[in-house]
Amino acid sequence: MRIVVALGGNALLKRGQPLTVGNQRENVKAAARALAPLAREHSLVVTHGNGPQVGLLALEAAAYTGVEPYTLDVLGAESEGMIGYMIEQELGNMLPEDVPFATILTQVEVDPADPAFEHPTKPIGPQYPREEAERLAREHGWSIGLDNGLYRRLVPSPRPKRIFEIRVVEWLVERGVIVICTGGGGIPTVLTPDGALVGVEAVIDKDHAGSLLARSLKAEMYLMLTDAEAVWDKWGEPDARAIIRAAPDALGQLEFAAGSMGPKVAAACEFARATGGRAGIGALEDAVAIMEGRAGTLISTEFDGLEYRPSLFD
């Protein structure tokens, strides 16, 4: 089976952890343990988030006051290389030596007229208390917004349209290579009127980019692994319930948080409708169980309506 796995930001850095190399490597090692059983049995393509990493790189670039700040497309490419290296090494250490890997710097086309450029919503970088966030916003011209009670920088997050390196990825997958690509949603690019490709200031949502990748590769399954054990209906309310199976149309009628579960649900429904395959959302450590329908939430056109996990009171 051909599977595309999207690792959430918390697969690389737990909430509240300092953004050190050691912390990231330990988290990637845990992700590799979850992915290794899939890689042994299936054709695997991995994509990942980069919000904390690209935000830190932007802060480091801003510290060099003698030069113009590096743009988010360049920083996104840097983060793809760094994270891809860690995934290759840690997953490679858990698989036979002859298993081939490749990390592909992946350019993804977006629409320059996408309304996301006028309404930044994607949080990147560290979390800050309000006063510090407001000071940084004034100094750097940032947009900021709440993220779990603290503040983060917000940047545009346009929808992905096309992955330019998709033929290369397909060739490698056909030859048995484990490919890491479209990291952080891919490097955001636009085509100019004369046909030139240029980078833009944005960070593409990795879940939607992962859905595009999975659809382009004709994958049978698209897994989004995060720190949530499943998709919950009425999350945070007394009558919240975990959804274990869902038809895209039924799931699409529910409301989810725009900055967290919302994009995952939308990307899952998009993949399921377009391919007839299955999408899964759940905890990183449950990767195999989600694929087998024993954990998390599965979304497919095979299902009718919504099926909830039985509660203790049912």
Q: Which of 55, 122, 125, 186 is catalytic?
A: 122
Tell me, yes or no, whether 168 and 23 share the same domain.
Answer: yes
CA 270 – CA 184 distance, rounded (Å) = 19
CATH number at residue 15: 3.40.1160.10
Pick the last residue of a domain from 189, 219, 249. 219
Q: Which of 8, 9, 49, 186 is catalytic?
A: 9
Alpha helices (H) along 42-129: 51-62, 72-92
Pick the last residue of a domain from 195, 219, 243. 219
For residue 33, the enclosing domain spans 2-219
Q: Which of 50, 84, 184, 206 is catalytic?
A: 206
Instruction: Provide the pLDDT for residue 62.
Output: 66
10 is catalytic: yes
264 is catalytic: yes
Instruction: Provide the pLDDT for residue 127.
Output: 81
Overall domain count for the chain: 2
Q: Which of 49, 210, 264, 282 is catalytic?
A: 264
161 is catalytic: no
9 is catalytic: yes
Instruction: Provide the pLDDT for residue 313.
Output: 45
Tell me, yes or no, whether 197 and 240 share the same domain.
Answer: no
206 is catalytic: yes
Q: How many CB atoms lie within 10 A of CB 61?
A: 17
Low-confidence ranges of the chain (pLDDT < 70): 9-11, 61-65, 259, 311-314
Tell me, yes or no, whether 282 and 259 share the same domain.
Answer: yes
Q: Which of 8, 10, 76, 185 is catalytic?
A: 10
DSSP string, 6-18: EE-GGGTS-TT--
Tell me, yes or no, whether 118 and 151 share the same domain.
Answer: yes
CB 130 within 8 A of CB 178: no
Tell me, yes or no, whether 160 and 282 share the same domain.
Answer: no
Pick the last residue of a domain from 167, 188, 219. 219
Instruction: Provide the pLDDT for residue 1.
Output: 93
Q: Which conformational region is residue 42 in: left (phi greater than 0), alpha (psi within -120 to 50 degrees), or beta?
A: beta
